[in-house]
Amino acid sequence: MEKIIAGKNITVNEEGYLTDFSQWDEQVGEALAAEANVPLSARHWEILKYLQNEQKNQVALSIRRIGKSGVTDIKEFYQLFPNAPLKTATKIAGIPKPASCI
Amino acid sequence: MKHVVILGAGTAGTMMANHLHHQLKHPDWEITIIDEREEHHYQPGYLFLPFDIYAPEDIIKTIEEFIPKDVKLVKNKINRIKPADNKIELTGGNEIAYDILIIATGAKIAPEETEGMKGAEWQKSVFDFYTFEGSLALRNKLRDWEGGKLVVHITEMPIKCPVAPLEFAFLADSFFKHKHMRDKVEITYVTPLSGAFTKPKATEALEHLLHEKGINIEPDFAIEKVDNERKEIVDYGGKIIPFDLLVTVPTNKGDELMERSGMGDDLNYVPTNKATLQSKDYANIFVLGDASNIPASKAGSVAHFEAEILTDNILRFVHGEPLKEEFDGHANCFIETGNGKALLIDFNYTHEPVEGSFPFPGIGPLRLLKESRMNHMGKLAFRWIYWNVLLKGTHIPFVSATMSEKGKHYA
């Protein structure tokens, strides 16, 4: 489906995740963060860039991996993106919601 | 003579030995399977043991009785795999060379990964049911537990048999009803997922059942620690859930052998091609069952479907033919829902579990994603099938290794 984010027509899935990363830019990120009530600081951006980079390298994202990434620890990750940090952060970063293996 | 070595004589390794010994025969081939243990456990039985539905003798047999006579069983601990030399180093120093290696060393719980989990309350008010010892200790606890807050908890994904903790919650509801003490027990299901399951349609059906049975659900809970003194679990976001009895599924990890051999990921699972089951790093190494990192369920049914496909691929590899990218993540799981009923789900990498009939489209007799007595009979019959059909590598009639879309109600 299409959604207007930061004045642009963006394709998202039913949960609001971008389906085409090429449509993402920092304004889109800011708008998605505002929607999630997460004001973005420089620290947030470091983590968002890290997540995008991991996604680019096709690394499966998990809370555990982020905790061991050296970029942040799990405690801080929760402080920066409260409640469900990985889901919130990936949405803002414009990358797919991590598939938990079953 | 060429040599196939299988590491691990659990569900996956045993099935593989039974498949391959028909195909790779003396004098051209020798097959060896290595496992240090004596006993083969029917792991799905760990779910029933705490509720006195199965007794220990129902779920334990020897490893030996399921290994074909022409396959050599080596009972020894493995020190490490030396993939560059095509050798296995046993504890004690002996080495076994291989031409083809199959890794089937499974996954196991690692409660030490979570602060306080294996603390003072371990097996007093904090239990697992993913080991025989844990399940038996929990049975003894439940026999005279007087009630209170029961918390059923998943630490992190992936875990073996991802529906088992849900089944535990359902069976607990049923168990306490039969003991006429359901009103004394508050059951809460705590999960790191955003709902009861990872796939939307099954989540909906399962959450409906949780609700119907008066089981609370706490989603998105990423545990930081178990507080043994206050009897609480605490998550990174600061959420606190008190318990009188905590039944947890600790972090699951692959065998430490992978760490010693430098072959695993951060949870000791072996990076594996999800369609061919070949190791990503070594062409003559294949990975079967829970030991791999493929995004399929860690379940016996998956290992069973994989074993059929892997047998073909190993023969192709032997003949120098390209491997078939055939495995689709097919899983087929009964979900006990208590009171003599069960659900059945059938799914793969791309198709979520939906309603329908199984295995015969439009006929059944099993119903997908709906509670029925027939499904429960299927689950109980499965123990017989496991010992007598599955481990022997016999094809289960009408159930194909890749998933069938027929008889299923996709929207």
Domain boundaries, chain B: 2-50+59-106+255-318, 110-251, 335-390
CATH topology for B110-251 is FAD/NAD(P)-binding domain (3.50.50)
Q: In what order do the strands lie in the sheet with B185-190?
A: B126-127, B245-249, B148-154, B185-190, B216-218
Regions of chain B where pLDDT drops below 70: none
Domain made up of B2-50+59-106+255-318: CATH architecture: 3-Layer(bba) Sandwich (3.50)
Which domain does A60 fall in, by range?
2-93
Which amino acid, B223? I
- Closest residue in chain B to residue A73, using alpha carbons only: B236
The CA distance from A82 to the nearest CA of chain B, in Å, is 7
| pLDDT at residue B394 in the model | 86
3-state helix, strand, coil split of chain B in percent (to 5) is 30, 30, 40
Going through B46-98 in order, the beta strands assigned E by DSSP cover 60-62, 71-74, 78-82, 87-90, 95-97
Amino acid at the residue A49: K
- Sorting pLDDT into bands at 50, 70 and 90, what band is A61? confident
The model's pLDDT over A18-52, given as tens digits with 9 standing for 90+, comes to 999 999 999 999 999 999 999 999 999 999 999 99
pLDDT at B364: 86
Q: Closest partner residue to B157 among A68, A78, A100, by Cβ? A: A100
pLDDT in tens, B176-213: 999 999 999 999 999 998 889 878 889 999 999 999 99
* Spatial contact of B136 and B246, defined as CB atoms under 8 Å apart: no
Q: A42-56 vs A85-93: helix axis angle to the nearest 10?
A: 80
Taking only residues 11 to 70 of chain A, the set having a beta carbon closer than 8 angstroms to any beta carbon of chain B reads: 60, 62-65, 68
In a domain, A98, yes or no: no
User: Chain-centre distance of CA B290, in angstroms?
Assistant: 7
Q: Is the pLDDT of residue A102 over 60?
A: no
Q: Which residues of B fall within a CB distance of 8 Å from A78?
A: 222, 236-238
* Best to test chain A binding among B155, B191, B236, B347 (most A CBs inside 10 Å): B236
CA separation for the pair A10, B240 (Å, rounded): 38
Catalytic residues of A: 101
Q: How far apart are CA B189 and CA B201, in angstroms?
A: 19
Report ipTM for this prediction.
0.77
Using left for φ > 0, alpha for ψ between -120 and 50, and beta otherwise, residue B270 falls in beta
**In a domain? residue A66:** yes
Q: In chain B, which residues touch A (CB < 8 A)?
A: 156-158, 162, 192-194, 197-199, 220, 222, 224, 236-238, 266-267, 295-297, 331
Given a contact cutoff of 8 angstroms between Cβ atoms, the answer to whether B285 and B103 are in contact is yes
Beta carbons of A75 and B236 less than 8 Å apart = yes
How far CA B303 is from CA of B10, B78, B296, B299, in Å, comes to: 10, 22, 10, 7
Answer for the pair B173, B215: CB distance below 8 angstroms, yes or no: yes
- Asked if B90 contacts B7 with a C-beta cutoff of 8 angstroms, the reply is no
Amino acid at A91: K
Which two three-digit tokens encode residue B271? 């990076």
Q: Tell if the CB–CB gap between B193 and A65 is shorter than 8 Å.
A: no
A100 touches B at CB < 8 Å: yes
Partner B contacted by A78 (CB < 8 A): yes
Q: What is the tens place of the pLDDT at every residue in B35-45?
A: 999 999 999 99
Locate B81 and state its tokens: 């795999």
CA distance B327 to B277: 8
A65 and B266 within 8 Å at the Cβ level: the answer is: yes
Query: Kind and range of the H or E element at B31?
Result: strand B29-34
Please say whether the beta carbons of B355 and B375 come within 8 A: no
Residue A100 pLDDT exceeds 70 = no
Span A46-73, average pLDDT? 89
Averaged pLDDT, A45-65: 90
| pLDDT surpasses 90 at A57 | no
Do B270 and B263 form a contact (C-beta atoms < 8 A)? yes
Partners of B2 in beta bridges: B29
B265 vs B254: CA distance, rounded Å: 9
Domain count, chain A: 1
Q: Is the pLDDT of residue A101 over 50?
A: no
Alpha-carbon gap: B331 to the closest alpha carbon of chain A (Å) = 10
Q: Do residues B391 and B18 touch, judged by C-beta distance below 8 A?
A: yes
Judging contacts by C-beta atoms under 8 Å, the chain A residues touching residue B295 are: 60, 99, 101
CB contact under 8 A, B192 and A87: no
Partner-chain residue, chosen from B158, B194, B266, that has the shortest CB–CB distance to A84: B194
